[in-house]
Structure 1
């Protein structure tokens, strides 16, 4: 395991390291306590733990619609986490999806949740570094990535790998956290990092420049910060700002630990202060600029 993978494991599965129980075991027990059969779950029941990005399922639907995702598309979901976007793309858009994540605990949960929701025939999951995958050239029509690049120190290598994996003219559908314009430092912890050394935010300009250098032409790119902030404010109230809790289904605190409410508040405040922004976009793969 690389240092990068160890840092991400320590961040995304901190409660597991302390308790000695796997994330899958903890979540299965939580579903049983909520009165659910952990081997037979609905997409609504798992919604609280299966899309660990701003906007939840609504944001994933928006990105898929923006990219015109067609039934039968072969999709690589990079940084898939617990697999929620992979399952949504399979169930609602007819995609054939492989989810990829460097965090083994997430990949284990993703496979279990797909089996439990009856979507294991159209989704499968792989534990690997996004910059170095064991997948064949030209395997995918679409690379899908939501809130993952800010965890990747070498984006150029990741973009080169995507180019190898995509068919000619394939597309990248991206929903990403980027650095804002405020000069003040990021309030930590946030959902993707507890320390500044493990946060790899880039500005929108810098990210788009890297995409262009990597051979990706923008089709449409839009700033969705305001809607993301409204969503985060609503969820911060639910997580500890005075709103009574909803049904006792598992939520992200079981993954991140008790610090998750603070992470959510910090993310809300970072968005409001323009320390971070959120973009969604569609990019088409061409030749890298170095080949021109």
Structure 2
């Protein structure tokens, strides 16, 4: 049986907002201070200004645009962004695709930041957020045209329960759009920490075959599925080089993921790069439709 504690708010908060858990300032306070130090008003921000903390997954906004294209999203559709983090994908779907997005995340600090960033960018009406467990939301059934999830299922120990909840929330014929990390063919343990886990108990990777089988068993029919590992690796290599350069003293810069993950972030990025290169993990992007 899955260990429920692996997805508890306290466990994930310790990983994603360790500074606050250790008695420091909240994530939102730290990020707002960093924007001020860089000469920007934290209550009036543009999407380019927040890009460094906006989408905490491989490929950033480009990967999200590609996934939206795979899912053929159209204006006016209601999208549930599961594991939304700081809300970047929800804001992108609202601004660029005309969708009404609701982001859900179990980490309260991320929801607080997501709501603030949507207010600061003028997107609070079209991108809303809820702190909840993805397997047990308080939302009404059959209310969403699509479920969107990027780099979040590997944090969820009971994927079957999550997929059952998605079936409940989707309208007939609704879609599931996934950009996900799965295990590769290399059976060696992945190097840790990585952005989604500091220890093996919090990482719930499965193979591509198991990933596809779970979706099929839950009643979702594949419409498209791509292995985007090569693109993700190139993106991670580029950012690893940039992060190494940023270790040098510099003037205050716009906040990036290191402000969220702390000193571990450089190691997380290197480990993720090396895991991808060694085929310990792969990245998939695809669209499934509710049968």
**Cross-structure match for 2:102:** 98
**Cross-structure match for 1:149:** 153
Q: 1:165 to 1:274 in 2, by over 3 A?
A: same
1:160 paired to 2:164: yes
1:81 to 56, 79, 85: 85
**Cross-structure match for 1:184:** 188
**Cross-structure match for 1:279:** 284
**Cross-structure match for 2:269:** 264
1:9 paired to 2:13: yes
**What is the CA deviation profile of residues 5-52 of structure 1, one whole-angstrom value per residue up to 9, with x for unaligned ones?**
221111000111224311110100000001000000000000000100
Aligned-pair CA distance for 1:186? 0.4
Q: Secondary structure at the match of 1:257?
A: helix
Aligned-pair CA distance for 1:55? 0.1
**Cross-structure match for 2:123:** 119
RMSD of Structure 2 on Structure 1 (CA) = 1.4
8 Å CA contact 2:179–2:284 kept in 1: the answer is: yes
In 2: Cα distance, 1:38 partner to 1:162 partner: 34
In 1: Cα distance, 2:54 partner to 2:74 partner: 22
In 2: Cα distance, 1:223 partner to 1:188 partner: 23
8 Å CA contact 1:175–1:281 kept in 2: the answer is: yes
8 Å CA contact 1:75–1:98 kept in 2: the answer is: yes
Q: How many residues align?
A: 285
In 2: Cα distance, 1:88 partner to 1:234 partner: 23
Structure 2 gaps, min length 5:
none
8 Å CA contact 1:237–1:243 kept in 2: the answer is: no
**Cross-structure match for 1:54:** 58
Normalising by structure 1, we get a TM-score of: 0.95
In 2: Cα distance, 1:234 partner to 1:11 partner: 25
Structure 1 gaps, min length 5:
287-292
In 2: Cα distance, 1:128 partner to 1:208 partner: 25
1:225 paired to 2:229: yes
